[in-house]
């Protein structure tokens, strides 16, 4: 099991805080698919303090998602501390996570995100300042370094620990790599050996077997899954099951994928309204359809749609066409309780 501060998870599989993806609609599906901890997408400290409506909506936590980690980012100590106080006292998140891995220029130019990776002293100062004023456990998500010449993962993780951080998640790529190349699990192992707080490994985990290899190679306490879960929350369930029992469950059928995609869309609609939900679901449906037979023509059709009912009709017709073509769509990977709201 994974324990961060006083928060105990039922397993050590963690959903990564992906921007534009990890809203309550998707997080709840991840939780229903067995994920031990879900992480919300990062939120700007200054946007929290300015009371930005969209930002405050991003702080919403459905009780069914818990335990949940809410991630903030910023480069100014005073505003980061004040934003952390808001998350601590005015949300029902369980954990406050500080982002020091985001590679996007508009974030790093503000001395936030991955920019911290160059200065262990700043990490200590910022994290300790937050830890001192909040009651919730404070964690950090980081990359191994800024570039191949500046890899301070061990020093940075030790700074987090000295500052009172309760855990650190390590993505095995540098800021320069973005999401290309191969994640360096050796450095994640070095971090695990250098600190006593829980370490969660991240990077290149796209199958349950990858998760097992990550844990064995690094000795880390948890495994974080990001892009491997896009349009594929079954990856989370299959990983939990595999790590627990050693049994590798079958991939979901096309019908199962489309049924959950519709639940996902309906939850988004409840959160954001039909028009916004349908637009956002275009990218998600592209992920749900990835690798399925005849997916290209379905993607073309949904990219022009603005109606929820028309989207559902397209997906239902797609399933019918697969049945007519003899593609199996009735077997179940598991009895998963995914509600319709």
Residues classed as catalytic: 102
Contact 247, 225 (CB under 8 A): no
- What values do phi and psi take at 98, rounded to 5? -105, 125
Within 8 A by CB and 6+ apart from 53, the residues are none
Contact 65, 92 (CB under 8 A): no
Which string of DSSP letters, residue by residue, matches 168-191? EEEEEEETTTTT-S---HHHHHHH
Contact 281, 264 (CB under 8 A): yes
- Bridge-based pairing of strands 3-4 and 7-8 is antiparallel
- What values do phi and psi take at 140, rounded to 5? -135, 140
Which string of DSSP letters, residue by residue, matches 238-299? HHHHHHHHS--PPPPPHHHHHHHHHHHHHHHHHHH-HHHHHHHHHHHHHHHHTTSTTHHHHH
Within 8 A by CB and 6+ apart from 8, the residues are 1, 2, 67
Torsional sign, CA 157, 155, 160, 52: negative
SS3 196: coil
Which string of DSSP letters, residue by residue, matches 65-78? G-SEEEEEE-S-HH
- Exposure string (b/e) for 258-292, b if CB count within 10 Å is 16 or more? bbbbbbbbbbbbebbebeebbebbeebbbbbbeeb
Alpha helix ranges (H) inside 68-206: 77-90, 105-108, 120-131, 153-162, 185-194
Rg of the chain (C-alpha set): 20
Instruction: Quickly tell me which residue has 């598991």 as its tokens.
Output: 334
């Amino acid at each position: 099991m994974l324990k961060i501060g006083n928060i105990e998870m039922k397993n050590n599989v963690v959903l990564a805080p992906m921007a534009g993806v990890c809203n309550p609609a998707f997080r709840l599906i991840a939780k229903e698919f067995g994920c031990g901890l879900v992480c919300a997408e990062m939120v700007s400290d200054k946007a929290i303090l300015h009371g930005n409506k969209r930002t405050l909506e991003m702080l919403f936590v459905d009780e069914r998602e818990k335990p949940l980690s809410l991630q903030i980012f910023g480069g100014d100590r005073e505003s980061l501390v004040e934003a952390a106080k808001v998350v601590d006292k005015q949300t029902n998140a369980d954990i406050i996570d500080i982002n020091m891995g985001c590679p996007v220029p508009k974030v790093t130019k503000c001395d936030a995100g991955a920019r911290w990776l160059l200065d262990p002293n700043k990490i200590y100062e910022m994290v300790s300042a937050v830890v001192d004023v909040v009651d919730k456990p404070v964690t950090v998500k980081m990359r191994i370094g800024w570039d191949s010449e500046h890899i301070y993962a061990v020093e940075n993780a030790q700074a987090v620990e000295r500052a009172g951080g309760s855990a650190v998640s390590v993505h095995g790529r540098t800021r320069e790599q973005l999401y290309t190349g191969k994640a360096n699990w050796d450095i994640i192992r070095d971090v695990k050996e250098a600190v006593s707080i829980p370490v969660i490994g991240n990077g290149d985990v796209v199958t349950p077997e990858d998760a097992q290899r990550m844990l064995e190679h690094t000795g880390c306490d948890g495994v974080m899954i990001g892009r491997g879960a896009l349009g594929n929350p079954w990856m989370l369930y299959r990983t939990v099951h595999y790590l627990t029992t050693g049994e590798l469950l079958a991939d979901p059928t096309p019908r199962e994928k489309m049924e959950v995609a519709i639940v996902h869309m309906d939850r988004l609609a409840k959160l954001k309204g039909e028009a916004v939900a349908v637009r956002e679901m275009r990218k998600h449906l592209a992920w749900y359809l990835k690798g399925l037979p005849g997916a290209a023509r379905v993607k073309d059709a949904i990219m022009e749609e603005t109606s929820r009912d028309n989207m559902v009709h397209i997906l239902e017709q797609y399933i019918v066409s697969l049945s007519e073509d003899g593609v199996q769509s009735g077997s179940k990977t598991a009895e998963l309780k995914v509600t319709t709201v």
